[in-house]
Amino acid sequence: MAVKSSGANLSIQGDIVAEFGGSAPHALSEYYGGGGLVPAGANPGVATSGQINIGSFYGTVAATVLTISSNTNDYNIKTAAVAAGGDTSTPVILTINSGVTVGSTSTSTPAMKTDTGWSNGVTINITNNGSIVGAAGANTTTNPSSGGGNGGGGTNHPNQGGQFPPGSAGQGHSGSASSSNNGGVAFEHSQTGDNNLSVIFDTAGTRTGGAAGTATFVGNGGGGGGGGSAFATPHRFGTGAGGGGGANGGTGGPAYGMHWHSAMRGDNGGSTTGGEGGQPYNPGQAIGGVGGDGGDIGQAGQNGQAGNPLSAGPYTPTSASAGGAAGSTGTASGSAGSALSGNTGQIS
């Protein structure tokens, strides 16, 4: 394809007609640039009116010639052909230079596409010496809607032998990948309603669909542990506080202090952050333990603090309870994009 670029004198029948066609009897006036047979954009040396010279047909071609010489995104062949002076009735010769990447800014947009509206019998010849690469799928993170671990309870004062639960574990979280995690298309033959347009990769080069992304579903936070209690003489009871609830939405743990010296319960967990552990009752000679903070999204709850008598007494301080574990985190992968899509039966 293309008239020879040098050598013996050109002939209308043997060179020009062979490239551009036309109706006999032939004359140079049949081959004005932009006149229907000779694409003006690809053949700027051919006169569009007035005097026409047969020598101006060296190297001419019956196609719109396009070259991609630097990296670009979202390449529309029809838009580029029209901008170069061609139209949708004229074949296209497209070259992607070595080392050049045609990419995409979105997984919903192919890196390169033909677009639609091409006339019957049009051919796009592509010499791909570079790479056509679809957009990679997004990596997303989703927080759970509920299920944080509950905070552990603070203890009764030691001489009552109080028992207290630890912070509970947060619930796990899982789900499925969405379309945003799927990779995009490299090359799309957009004209799917008919077989008017043929795409020929004279040199295929690299055509790669976009890589799949990963959806991560973060587990809930564990509840904080309850604080321990202590006794000091004479009759001083430090009462442990409740642990905070884990995110998302865990309930703060209670505190079991006597009515005249009660510790505070833990705060409930928020949507992404754990609730703060409660403050103990401290009469001075005996220090109750602070409740552990609830875990943030994906984190374990903190342990509560043990009680401290500060002075000798008949009772052993109770230890604090442990924070709950974080809920398990789930992941799901999207799908890699296609190298070719659309009317693939017309791609060769």
DSSP string, 36-93: SSB-TTT-TTS-SSS---GGGGTT--SSEEEEE-S-EESEEHHHHHHHTT--TTS-EE
Which range among 107-116, 239-248, 308-317 shows the weakest confidence by mean pLDDT? Answer: 308-317
User: How many other CB atoms are there within 10 angstroms of residue 74's CB atom?
Assistant: 16
Share of the chain above pLDDT 90, in %: 66
User: How many other CB atoms are there within 10 angstroms of residue 226's CB atom?
Assistant: 40
Peptide bond into 25 cis (omega under 30): yes
Q: Residues 6 or more apart from 23 whose CB is under 8 A from it? A: 30
pTM of the full predicted structure?
Answer: 0.78
Q: Can you tell me the distance from the alpha carbon of 27 to that of 33, in angstroms, rounded to the nearest whole number?
A: 14
**Which DSSP letter does residue 16 get?**
I
The mean pLDDT value for 125-149 works out to 97
Q: What is the DSSP string of 254-282?
A: P----TTSPPPPPPPP-SSSPPPPPPPB-
Mean pLDDT of the chain: 90
Q: Can you tell me the distance from the alpha carbon of 286 to that of 293, in angstroms, rounded to the nearest whole number?
A: 22
Give tens-digit pLDDT for 80-115.
999 988 889 889 999 999 999 999 999 999 999 999
* β-bridge partners, 133: 208
The domain ranges of the chain are: 12-57, 66-133+182-212, 140-177+215-331
Q: Is residue 18 within a helix (H) or strand (E), and if so which, with residue range?
A: helix 17-20
| pLDDT attached to residue 312 | 67
Give tens-digit pLDDT for 243-298.
999 999 999 998 875 444 678 999 999 999 999 999 988 877 788 889 999 999 99
Which range among 2-11, 157-166, 179-188, 317-326 shows the weakest confidence by mean pLDDT? Answer: 157-166
| pLDDT attached to residue 260 | 46
| pLDDT attached to residue 257 | 58
